[in-house]
Structure 1
Amino acid sequence: MWYVSTRGIAPRVNFEGALFSGYASDGGLFMPEELPQLDKETLSQWSTLSYPGLVKELCTLFVGPELIPRDDLDDLIDRAFSRFRHKEVVHLSRLRNGLNVLELWHGVTYAFKDLSLCCTAQFLQYFLGKREKHVTVVVGTSGDTGSAAIESVQGAKNMDIIVLLPKGRCTKIQELQMTTVLKENVHVFEVEGNSDELDEPIKAVFADVAFVKKHHLMSLNSINWSRVLVQMAHHFFAYFRCAPSLDSHPLPPVEVVVPTGAAGNLAAGCIAQKMGLPIRLVVAVNRNDIIHRTVRRGDFSLSEAVKPTLASAMDMQVPYNMERIFWLLSGSDSQATRVLMEQFERTQSLKLPKELHSKLSEAVTSESVSDEAITQTMSRCWAENQYLLCPHSAVAVSCHYQQVDRQQPSAPRCCLATASAAKFPEAVLAAGLSPETPAEILALEHKETRCTPMRRGDDWTLMLRDTIEDLSRRWSGRGLNSSE
């Protein structure tokens, strides 16, 4: 299985190459050169698998046994999911009025990102152990990615992780999950800016190809193909748990509602769809509605500013995984994708070509949800089911309630729940409900914290480069001292 850049200039790489890269050297994102097609028989065989079983089958298709033999792959995935609180790893809650909520948040940090990051970290450690190499992982976060990435690699002997978080724009709990990890290989910066602004120094550092190579830099944001690969399993699991029967021909459709910011889960769904999974995708966003405008009107352009919302992890303007979706829907046309994305980077505004827009609106429908609708949805779901939603999951469930209230007949529907309500007590209170906080989250309040400020007026790119160079020096010093 080979991977090519969406912009078509970077040389193709295997899974290991894609795993250790952030952006491709031409600024694009890696995608599989060809997508395996799944027939009805394969889907029937997969339909009884557990969530980890689905992850194993998907990874087998996209990794290749010459890189990770099947037995090793199975062990890595079992190890990745060993710290999840739910025996099924993910869990489908069937609630009133046809509401199916797929809980993706039973990992250590109570967010869906634990699922893909714990697998990705295992793959990284597998290759690093074999190659006796060290990498520095650089992550920008709007809330959940940072803590899940830290959890997945903390204490790893051949990896350092640098996380940039937006000061005052994550919830207190999200911030504490990052700043209370005091392991030597974890380095957290608190940036006086929003999540789009803190991505700028990261992008600047990754644009220096020689620097990236010299210091073995990589990213664990959902620009990393491995993240998207594992997230494809959500869609298969949702389909198999919600489809009425796999005996009919053609297979019955299931609607999957995906709340999103950077569109990683959405890209995973579009790929699953292209492989033959009969899902209809609904993308649900908060008031930061670039994806919604793109689906509805073909208008892929930035707003004046990021609007802070209750669904803070989705408060971003640049959903970088849309590039993967444009490439996929344009029939893998890398030249067209490159022209589009370079125009977007130059002007921050793009009108999709008619044909691409029509393919996108066939593959995906969309909704944008206000803060008021988020709190109303949280209240209604509690009143009807005694079930507490986080604000991001409520963005998806709000779309379900809109359909129910219109009494439109539809296919079975599954809403992806991306985080536990326990992480967002402020939003739960805003909905007039009582937060339920697990003891391990309460304990964060009393732990020592450590982070470095990046203030307005500081040169953030320089601070990041200096930190990376310092870590490289430390590592090479350690390598020279063989007694360590």
Structure 2
Amino acid sequence: MGVLEFPGGAGRGLGAWRAGASGLSPLQASRTMWYVSTRGVAPPVDFEGALFSGYAPDGGLFVPEELPQLDRETLRQWSTLSYPGLVKELCSLFIGPELIPRGDLDGLIDRAFSRFRHREVVHLSRLRDGLNVLELWHGPTYAFKDLSLSCTAQFLQYFLEKREKHVTVVVGTSGDTGSAAIESVQGAKNVDIIVLLPKGHCSKIQELQMTTVLNDNVHVFGVEGNSDELDEPIKAVFADVAFVQKHSLMSLNSINWSRVLVQIAHHFFAYFRCAPSLDTAPLPPVEVIVPTGAAGNLAAGCIAQNMGLPIRLVAAVNRNDIIHRTLQQGDFSLSEAVQPTWASAMDIQVPYNMERIFWLLSGSDSQGTRTLMEQFEITQGLRLPKELHEKLSGAVTSESVSDETITQTMIRCWDENRYVLCPHSAVAVSHHYQQQPSLPPALSHSPQCTPRCCLAPASAAKFSEAVQAAGLPLEAPAEILALEHKETRCTPMPRGEDWALMLRNTIEALSRRWKERALRPS
């Protein structure tokens, strides 16, 4: 789409290359995008290496070594693209044709989105008083995770088939990631997936979407703990590098770079659909409100900002407010306990993608990031250095929302628009209502008013308990109603048991089964 200009003599660390509008030269088109760890010790890998990794071997997260800088003309060209078109352009920049030729890449992404219910894949609903709600939930499991996981699963299968390999995917979920990950790989002959869900901490529909999948390659565990607690055995297993390599383990949580990559497209699509005009200089800003738990969507937004997209980010969280406290006070520390809320998928105390944001905003300071994160892992709390806190609060503002406010927002949106929000979407929309309580439409669309887009991560149909508590009507789709009549399968992980040992034993059993099958004559 554009000319890529590389700074001469750039060493390791966050560089930049510039995408213009004149086409790619053969040399530029063949350039490999490398990924480095936020902690700076692990060797660089290409996209395939980052895709098949969980955490980097040094405990960090993989990030692009350099970010493309998009000029105004490229942004103007991209502004007319569909959502799948934006995903294709972004993935082509961050993967490279030497790994996935552009024709193959376009086919994979088309296949990934083929089962989405809306012809646009995502849809912007324009509601009263300048309220823009970007519906990211038109995929198979009615949640935004379908967008990134459907693509990631296609990339995964592409490389596995070429290499004739098998992997075991290990996923911890607070609600939506597990079902979307299962949906993306169920039935795949060269993938086994293990999902740990927090028993009793996600909605009934979310749990049924996981436990009613009976495919031979799907293995669901119900953990007697919250989503942060179930992450601990997963991280312990991934810390054993030899075990990870021996059993070909990988993660599809948003520690996986591919997930974040696809989510960058949300921000570009939101900007292009909400910006009043791209004919002004400088380009007009758009505020994007991101309801966030593990901060994957937020990290994607920070990357989009650094690529040149003029968005202002707002991180909207529920009462589990570590991100809000970090942005407001520089206090990156755990609370005493996770508080259950209506926005249950955001009931998270350890937003692991903040590590990517710290690295990015510190100017790719791997040593500083490693020091911060190792201190956090030991003490479960730290105060950000002043300079990093200033950069962070300059890039993102934040808000913490109570359950009462979530319910009030859902009720107001219904009263004014006959539109039912899921509780997570309501966390974002509450910010819009607080900033713009009741402006008349003529003023809410005035040139002096910055357009605002609220990301809606899930359908209200997945959260009937919250919708009923708000006293709102809800027509659940037939496929969701049918879940209650299906057989379920879920292995308990009781409190007091060694969850890491249970996980390791399951992984070893799956490896043995795969090897036995591979030895059988076809």
TM-score, length of structure 2 as denominator length = 0.92
List per-residue Cα deviations over 1:250-301 (Å, max 9, x = no partner): 0000000000000000000000000000000000000000000000000000
1:286 is matched with 318
Q: Which residue of 2 aligns with 1:420?
A: 459
Which residue is equivalent to 2:471?
432
Deviation at 1:410, TM superposition (A): 3.6
Give structure 1 regions of 4+ aligned residues with deviation exceeding 3 angstroms.
406-410
* Aligned pairs for 1:54-453 within 5 A: 54-405=86-437, 410-453=449-492
- Is contact 2:174–2:346 with CA below 8 Å preserved after alignment? yes
Partner of 1:52: 84
Distance 2:236 2:392 in 1: 30
Partner of 2:511: 472
Q: Return the alpha-carbon distance in structure 1 between the equivalents of residues 449 and 355 of structure 2.
A: 30
173-182 vs 408-417, which deviates more?
408-417
**What is the CA distance between 1:445 and its match in structure 2?**
0.5
Q: Secondary structure at the match of 2:331?
A: coil
Pick aligned residue for 2:493 from 433, 451, 454: 454
The offset of 1:430, in angstroms, is 1.0
CA offsets 1:52-81 (integer angstroms, 9 cap, x no match): 000000000000100000000000000000
Shift, 1:405, TM fit = 2.2
Over aligned residue pairs, what C-alpha RMSD do you find? 0.8
Q: Encode CA deviations 1:167-210: one digit per residue, 9 max, x unaligned.
A: 01111100000000000000000000000000010001000000
The residue identity in structure 1 corresponding to 2:330 is G
Counterpart of 1:52 in structure 2: which amino acid? P
Provide the C-alpha distance between the structure 1 equivalents of 2:233 and 2:495, rounded to a whole number of angstroms. 13
Gaps of 5+ in 1: none
Structure 1 Cα separation of the partners of residues 394 and 495 of structure 2: 43
Q: Structure 2 counterpart of 1:225, which letter?
A: W
More displaced, 141-150 or 425-434? 425-434
Deviation of 1:436 (Å) = 1.6
Q: Secondary structure at the match of 2:113?
A: helix
Matched residue SS, 1:36:
strand
Q: What SS does structure 1 have at the residue aligned with 2:196?
A: strand
Per the alignment, residue 27 of structure 2 pairs with: none
Partners of 2:454 and 2:300 in 1: how far apart?
15
- Runs of 5+ unmatched residues, structure 2: 1-32
Whole-angstrom distance in 1 between the partners of 2:260 and 2:253: 10
| Identity score, percent | 85
1:435: Cα distance to partner? 2.0
| Residue in structure 2 matched with residue 39 of structure 1 by the alignment | 71
CA distance in 1, matches of 2:208, 2:449: 42
